[in-house]
Amino acid sequence: MGDRSVAIVTGASRGIGFVIARALAGAGYDLAICGTRTETIEQAGNRLADEFGIEVLARAVNVADREQVQAFIQQAAKHFGRLDVLVNNAGITRDTLAMRMKESDWDEVIATNLSSVFHASQAALKPMMRARKGRIINISSVVASMGNPGQLNYCASKGGIDALTRSLAREIGSRGITVNAVAPGFIATDMTAELGEEAQRKLAEQIPLGRLGQAEDVAAAVVFLAGDQAGYITGQVLHVNGGMYM
Ligand SMILES: NC(=O)c1ccc[n+]([C@@H]2O[C@H](COP(=O)([O-])OP(=O)(O)OC[C@H]3O[C@@H](n4cnc5c(N)ncnc54)[C@H](O)[C@@H]3O)[C@@H](O)[C@H]2O)c1
């Protein structure tokens, strides 16, 4: 078993997942990261390894595929000889009104955002239970609590994550494993940048802190929940949304 703690982050080739991985690297973790494309996830892994001098295992994995995601978790635990933290971050949207939503829009979002969290967590439990220690952190969304027109599938997947988080926390608390969710609000990403300045200003007006969040705001909450100081927190959904929902 290595000296350094090990964290897995799914969906870490870009966006919030990459920034979470970078923050964990900065906090001294070795990493196993996955994304959809080999080239981009390997680039992300090389960047983090060079910048922080840590070991990074980077793999293309479709988290919607039970066998692939469970094999990845097992490979990471075997490679590093330990698994301290699992961050279930990978997620997609297939937005459209309920009346027009195709079965595939529903199935893909539920498989990628929700079933993946069950499958990855199930695989992570084995090494964590053996160590009687572990942290599972699931990336939810403010819309799980608020609802959002055109995002029935996405909201259902994130609401499912919040409920799964509470159930698993109750089930495995006695094994020294905590399970929490982080629910971001509107975060400035490539996606929100495309909205244009006017739309972003309108969004910011609905937020008490008067600005969109940064991926770093989400990553800081994840690093906190992963760390020793959060040892008595489990089954919670930590909202990182500038006050837009409270
Ligand atoms: N951006 C926001 O404002 C916001 C708000 C609330 C919640 N979130 C959540 O935060 C998480 C990250 O969002 P983001 O904005 O950084 O998204 P993004 O689209 O920029 O990045 C998503 C990442 O997930 C990976 N991914 C997608 N499908 C995958 C699959 N099937 N298998 C493996 N990896 C896959 C992609 O490769 C990428 O690395 C998601 O769970 C999202 O629902 C985002």
The CATH number assigned to the domain holding 100 equals: 3.40.50.720
Which residues on neighbouring strands pair with residue 24, listed in sequence order? none
* Cα separations in angstroms, 194 against 14, 147, 171, 190: 16, 22, 42, 6
H helices of the chain, where?
A: 15-26, 38-52, 66-80, 103-109, 116-131, 143-146, 152-172, 190-193, 197-205, 215-226
| Arithmetic mean of pLDDT, 113-121 | 99
Q: Give the pLDDT band (50/70/90) at residue 184.
A: very high
Residue 54 backbone dihedrals phi, psi, to 5 degrees: -105, 170
CB 223 within 8 A of CB 27: yes
Residue 103 neighbours by CB distance under 10 Å: 7
Residue 158 lies in a domain: yes
Ligand 1 centre to CA of 3 (Å) is: 30
Determine the Cα–Cα distance for residues 125 and 205; give it in Å rounded to an integer: 42
Residue 246 lies in a domain: no
Q: Is the CB of 80 under 6 A from ligand 1?
A: no
Q: Is the pTM of this model over 0.85?
A: yes
pLDDT at 211 over 90: yes
pLDDT at 192 over 90: no
Q: 84-94 pLDDT, tens per residue?
A: 999 999 999 99
Report pLDDT for 197. 87
Residue 245 lies in a domain: no
Residue 209 lies in a domain: yes
Mean pLDDT for the chain overall: 97
Q: 56-69 pLDDT, tens per residue?
A: 999 999 999 999 99
Which residues form the domain of 140?
Answer: 6-240
| Arithmetic mean of pLDDT, 157-179 | 98
Top mutation candidate among 16, 36, 38 for ligand 1, by most atoms within 8 Å of CB: 16
Report pLDDT for 44. 98
Count: domains in the chain:
1
Determine the Cα–Cα distance for residues 92 and 11; give it in Å rounded to an integer: 10
Residue 173 lies in a domain: yes
Determine the Cα–Cα distance for residues 60 and 69; give it in Å rounded to an integer: 10
Q: Is the CB of 141 under 6 A from ligand 1?
A: yes
